[in-house]
């Protein structure tokens, strides 16, 4: 089997560590509004034993109308501590799709300074398919002590994107569907035009995930980025609709050894809503 990401842990490993006090399991499931799913209610019905639900829309910068933007290090530290998470623990994140929003939570903890944060390979679908234990019992943890250290270099703002487009020398890779990127299909969020940032490349996140909800292997991923016209020798900024699935591209790029990576947190929801933004379409 070809090499895959060092940030993935398999279901055997996690089942063997369910009772480890230094392993924290987080369900980071999130769905687009039009999917009309309540991830927290789904979590309450079925989750991996000992898991906690992490709401990326609540532990966020609530001063903006943009969805699930990174909070400050102080806000994040307080929220995570209250969940019962402490410095030095190993964090394993998953979602109910297989690989959709878990990479966003993985990226968030990485940006906040956590080294030992991993994604459950195949997520809850693989776990359940293997008939591993699930529960509806929620086990709160006693308060922890977590100190976030925000890596500002890993996060891009609208102003950063304007500068990056103007100056060149970086690759911007968009995880949305090709039709949305070309401007030929509507955005799922109302009142937002579709289209793309000038000079951006397109690699729909689903192209990097197999039918079981698992990240594809290194050779496939590298070739897919090359086929999309991405210059892998350059710094790369990932983007998507709202900053969630862009993290799948970030995970994939890390997997093939890219180190100069950042993510545009506001992504298309911010870019398309700003009247000064330049939008290209086919």
Residue percentage of the chain with pLDDT more than 90: 92
Do 136 and 51 fall into the same domain?
A: yes
pLDDT of residue 35: 83
CATH code at 132? 3.40.250.10
pLDDT of residue 181: 98
Q: Which residue has the tokens 């039709």?
A: 179
Per-residue pLDDT tens digits for 6-37: 999 999 999 999 999 999 999 999 998 778 89
Do 88 and 199 fall into the same domain?
A: no
pLDDT of residue 3: 62
User: Could you list the active site residues?
Assistant: 240
pLDDT of residue 21: 93
Whether residue 281 is contained in a domain is answered as: no
pLDDT of residue 34: 78
Do 140 and 57 fall into the same domain?
A: yes
Whether residue 65 is contained in a domain is answered as: yes
Whether residue 277 is contained in a domain is answered as: no
98 touches 122 (CB < 8 A): yes
Do 127 and 254 fall into the same domain?
A: no
- Is the pLDDT score of 176 beyond 80? yes
Give the predicted TM-score (pTM) of the model.
0.96
Domain-ending residue, one of 150, 172, 201: 150
What is the maximum span of the chain, computed from C-alpha positions, in angstroms? 54
Whether residue 282 is contained in a domain is answered as: no
pLDDT of residue 1: 34
Domain-ending residue, one of 122, 150, 178: 150
Do 144 and 168 fall into the same domain?
A: no
Per-residue pLDDT tens digits for 41-78: 999 999 999 999 999 999 999 999 888 999 999 999 99
- Total number of domains constituting the chain: 2
- Is the pLDDT score of 197 beyond 90? yes
Whether residue 68 is contained in a domain is answered as: yes
Whether residue 143 is contained in a domain is answered as: yes
> Average pLDDT in the 79-83 region?
98
> Average pLDDT in the 172-177 region?
98
Do 104 and 215 fall into the same domain?
A: no
Torsion over CA: 141, 143, 145, 147 (sign): positive
Confidence of residue 2 (pLDDT cuts 50, 70, 90): very low
Whole domain around residue 139: which residue ranges?
8-150
Helices (H), the chain: 11-16, 39-45, 73-83, 102-111, 123-129, 158-167, 178-182, 218-227, 246-255, 267-271
Confidence of residue 4 (pLDDT cuts 50, 70, 90): confident
Domain-ending residue, one of 150, 171, 201: 150
Do 196 and 66 fall into the same domain?
A: no
CA distance 48 to 124: 8
- Edge to edge, the sheet with strand 8-9 lists 8-9, 117-120, 90-94, 23-27, 52-53
């Amino acid at each position: 089997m070809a090499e895959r990401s060092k940030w993935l842990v398999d279901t055997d490993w996690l089942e063997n560590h369910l009772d480890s006090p230094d392993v924290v399991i987080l369900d980071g499931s999130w769905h687009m509004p039009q999917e009309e799913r309540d991830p927290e209610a789904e979590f309450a019905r079925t989750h991996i034993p000992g898991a906690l639900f992490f709401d990326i829309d609540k532990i966020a910068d609530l001063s903006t109308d943009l969805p699930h933007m990174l909070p400050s290090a102080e806000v994040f530290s307080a929220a995570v501590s209250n969940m019962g998470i402490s410095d030095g623990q190993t964090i394993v994140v998953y979602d109910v799709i297989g690989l959709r929003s878990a990479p966003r939570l993985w990226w968030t903890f990485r940006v906040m300074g956590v080294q030992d944060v991993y994604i459950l390979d195949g997520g809850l679908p693989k776990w359940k398919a293997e008939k591993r234990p699930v529960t509806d019992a929620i086990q709160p943890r006693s308060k922890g002590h977590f100190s976030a250290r925000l890596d500002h270099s890993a996060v891009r703002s609208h102003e950063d994107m304007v500068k990056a487009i103007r100056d060149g020398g970086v690759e911007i890779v968009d995880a949305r569907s090709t039709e949305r990127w070309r401007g030929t299909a509507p955005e799922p969020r109302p009142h937002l035009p579709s289209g793309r940032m000038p000079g951006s490349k397109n690699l729909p996140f689903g192209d990097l995930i197999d039918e079981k909800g698992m990240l594809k292997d290194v050779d496939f991923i590298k070739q897919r980025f090359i086929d999309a016209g991405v210059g892998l020798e350059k710094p790369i900024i990932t983007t998507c609709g709202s900053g969630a699935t862009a993290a799948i591209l970030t995970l994939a790029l890390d997997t093939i050894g890219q180190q100069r990576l950042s993510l545009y947190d506001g992504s298309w929801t911010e870019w398309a809503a700003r009247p000064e933004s330049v939008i290209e379409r086919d």
